[in-house]
Amino acid sequence: MLSRTLTCSVLLSLASAAQTFVVDAENRPGTDFTSLVAAIAAVPSGSTLLVRGGRYFESPEIQGKALAIVCEPAATVLLPLGGAAVIRGLAAQQNVTIRDLILIANSNNPSFSARLSAIDADGLVLLDGVRGAGAAGVTLVARNCARLSARRCEFRGSRSASVEVEGGNACFESCWLGRAEGANGQVGLRQSGGTVQLVDCQVDGSQPLLGISGPAVDTNGSLRVLGNSVLRGGAFPPAALAIAGTGTVRLEPSVQLFGASPLLDPRLQVTTRAMPRMTAAAQAGGQVDVALHGPHGDAAAIFVGLPGVPVPLFGDAVWLGADPLVLRLGGVAPLSFRTAPLHNLAPPGFCLGWQAVTLTPTGTAQLSNPVFHVAW
């Protein structure tokens, strides 16, 4: 009860300070802006933009500003040829959230992918439900992002890699990366340094009918793969590796790998063990089902808080800030609970996070992946 009271008080205090503006390309009643670019430039840092369904022919860029963009169904940004949606230059306390946005490259080629870039961001970049439409995929480039979290997203771009992560920390939950129908040697995820976590994700390397298959992942950083993730190297002969590169890889036993034999590049440093995995599933009434799925029998504690600067701990990092960081539930894994309806407590775009720590009977502590929820 104490943890719930503290959490609610934080939500209510922030809700009273947030400013919300409506963006509508069709200028229906209640509209504040008809252009997403104009809205981003005009509103103060910390605002929320409610984007109504419609088509926005522009290249939005968020630079050095905290912002939440929450989209209604069918809110679609059509990027001009060569254009991109960009997030850059965020300070540690400047968080950007984008929920349920459709990105399309405005090209005569229906398979040409849109591009979303997050560059030099110390604040949290939270992408929730970002995707393309039809055959047109989205390519994600994350460069020097201290904390990028993507959930329910589809990054299936047509470039050499559907997702490129350079440095920083990134966590993908319930995402689909890569495209089996992609070009020669196309990679689902290319990681250059930094730390990446894949949680219940599907990652595909390309397998063109006439060409070169691509690996699901190419990494020279630290990669942790959790839950029911499936990594599939291209199968067209000669088949590609599930994971290529020279990095460090930690796998849960439940992870499925497909591709060449052997499945893993021999240059990788690979360990397989049970690890704590968190999920957060939104319900129709605004509640969130938060669950820690294991390791079974380990002592466990789930904490709730606001996004914070990652702090290294137990070989991973705490993504939640310390003010406040509240123990929500303790016991023996697995653990789960349902929150109160967050939309009754906070404005659209507000972000809340959970992360767990577990302890084996022999005294080994592990951190789970972080999970975040955006109120809508």
pLDDT at 2 over 70: no
Question: Between residues 213 and 145, which one has the greater pLDDT?
Answer: 145
Across the chain, mean pLDDT equals 90
State whether 311 and 250 are in the same domain.
no
Do 316 and 334 belong to one domain? yes
Distance CA(329)–CA(146), nearest Å, equals 27
Same domain, 263 and 284: no
10 within domain boundaries = no
Is 154 domain-assigned? no
Task: Single out the residue in 273, 305, 325 at which a domain terminates.
Answer: 273
Question: Locate tokens 């590796």: which residue?
Answer: 241
| Across 106-114, average pLDDT | 73
Same domain assignment for residues 322 and 284: yes
Q: Is residue 183's pLDDT more than 50?
A: yes
For 285, which DSSP code? Answer: T
Reported as a pLDDT band with limits 50, 70 and 90, residue 148 is very high
Q: Which of 117, 145, 173 is the last residue of a domain?
A: 145
Residues 136 and 27 in one domain: yes
Residue 16 has pLDDT above 60, yes or no: no
Closest-CA residue to 353 (of 196, 124, 189): 124
Element (H, E) at 35: none
Question: Are 261 and 218 within one domain?
Answer: yes
Q: Which of 101, 122, 145 is the last residue of a domain?
A: 145
Q: Give the model's pLDDT for residue 17.
A: 57
183 vs 144, higher pLDDT: 144
How many domains does the chain contain in total? Answer: 3
User: Both 224 and 289 in a single domain?
Assistant: no
Does 7 reside within a domain? no
- For the cut 60, the answer to whether the pLDDT of residue 112 exceeds it is yes
Structure tokens of 29?
Answer: 């009643």
Query: What pLDDT, on a 0 to 100 scale, did the predictor assign at position 317?
Result: 94
What would the pLDDT profile of 158-178 be if each residue is shown by its tens digit? 778 999 999 999 999 999 999
Domain that holds residue 100: 18-145
Predicted pLDDT of residue 4: 52
pLDDT exceeds cutoff 50 at 361: yes
Report the CATH number that the domain containing residue 332 is assigned in CATH. 2.60.40
83 and 131 both lie in a single domain: yes
Rounded Cα gap, residues 274 and 5, in angstroms: 33
Has residue 150 got a pLDDT over 80? yes
pLDDT at 42 over 90: yes
Residues 24 and 129 grouped into a single domain: yes
